[in-house]
């Protein structure tokens, strides 16, 4: 192969490790945006440690969220094995109860994409606590690795936003700012708008695209899932006889 043709080859897909490194930078950006939005929101933002209303009910997380959670669980199993075991136990109990009605692949945890699956998911495990929630402390034990939905819940966030809108185009007329129902209860529309949190959707999508290149999308192998499927651990090896 000539040097010219070799130089024209597409770059090799990034590895999951590289994506996780870039995801750490994405998390820093989101954390900074949350800190700024919290400052501008002042007392209107009621979120605080121990407030767990948003920790009940299943919701879809994307493959980047899942990769982050699984990597954190693997690390915790090494550094904090007792805590990891407690989280995994809650996740296993959750799946034992709810996986029979999971609208997707019950083994891999990949959500189904049909209209019927999406409709069924609206009523799936709506009252169940997240396995990452410590029932005694009321704190998330996977807080540093929590999904993007958890990171942006509370401050005003623009609904139906897209990378193009983030880049500066005018939002569609039907877009609005969503807030936690416990927050901004006495705020004016102007105060809500002034506290809007900017979410780097374009950067998140770029990393999701990289993951798709690493593992091309195939039925039941990659896709949206739920937190519980990311918090299980492989069985411990048997004790030597």
Provide the residue ranges of all domains of the chain, joining segments of one domain with +.
15-230
Mean pLDDT by 10 residues, the chain (241 residues): 49 79 97 97 93 95 97 97 98 98 96 96 97 96 97 88 44 64 95 96 95 68 91 72 58
The model's pTM: 0.85
How far apart are the C-alpha atoms of 152 and 167, rounded to whole Å? 18
**What is residue 161's predicted lDDT score, i.e. its pLDDT?**
53
**What is residue 217's predicted lDDT score, i.e. its pLDDT?**
55
Q: How many CA atoms lie within 13 A of 240 on its CB side?
A: 0
**What is residue 171's predicted lDDT score, i.e. its pLDDT?**
38
The full DSSP string for 116-184 is: HHHHHHTTSSTTPBPTTB-TTT--BTTGGG--HHHHHSSS-EETT--HHHHTTPPPPTT--EE--TTSS
Give residue for tokens 């692949």.
105
CB 14 within 8 A of CB 210: yes
């Amino acid at each position: 192969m000539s040097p010219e043709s070799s130089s024209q080859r597409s770059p090799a897909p990034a590895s999951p490790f590289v994506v996780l490194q870039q995801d750490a930078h994405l998390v820093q950006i989101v954390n900074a945006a949350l800190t700024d939005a919290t400052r501008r929101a002042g007392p209107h933002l009621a979120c605080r440690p121990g407030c767990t209303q948003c920790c009940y009910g299943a919701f879809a997380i994307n493959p980047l969220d899942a990769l982050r959670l699984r990597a954190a669980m693997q690390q915790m199993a090494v550094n904090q094995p007792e805590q990891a075991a407690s989280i995994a136990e809650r996740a296993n109990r959750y799946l034992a109860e709810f996986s029979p009605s999971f609208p997707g692949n019950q083994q891999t945890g990949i959500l189904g994409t049909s209209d019927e699956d999406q409709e069924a998911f609206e009523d799936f495990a709506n009252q169940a606590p997240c396995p990452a929630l410590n029932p005694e402390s009321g704190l998330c034990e996977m807080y540093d690795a929590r999904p993007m939905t958890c990171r942006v819940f509370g401050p005003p966030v623009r609904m139906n936003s897209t990378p193009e809108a983030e880049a500066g185009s005018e939002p569609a007329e039907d877009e609005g700012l969503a807030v936690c129902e416990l927050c901004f209860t006495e705020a004016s529309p102007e105060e809500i708008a002034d506290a809007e949190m900017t979410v780097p959707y374009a950067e998140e999508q770029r990393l999701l695209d990289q993951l798709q290149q690493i593992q091309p999308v195939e039925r039941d192998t990659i896709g949206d899932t739920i937190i519980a499927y990311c918090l299980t651990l492989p069985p411990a090896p048997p004790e030597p006889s």
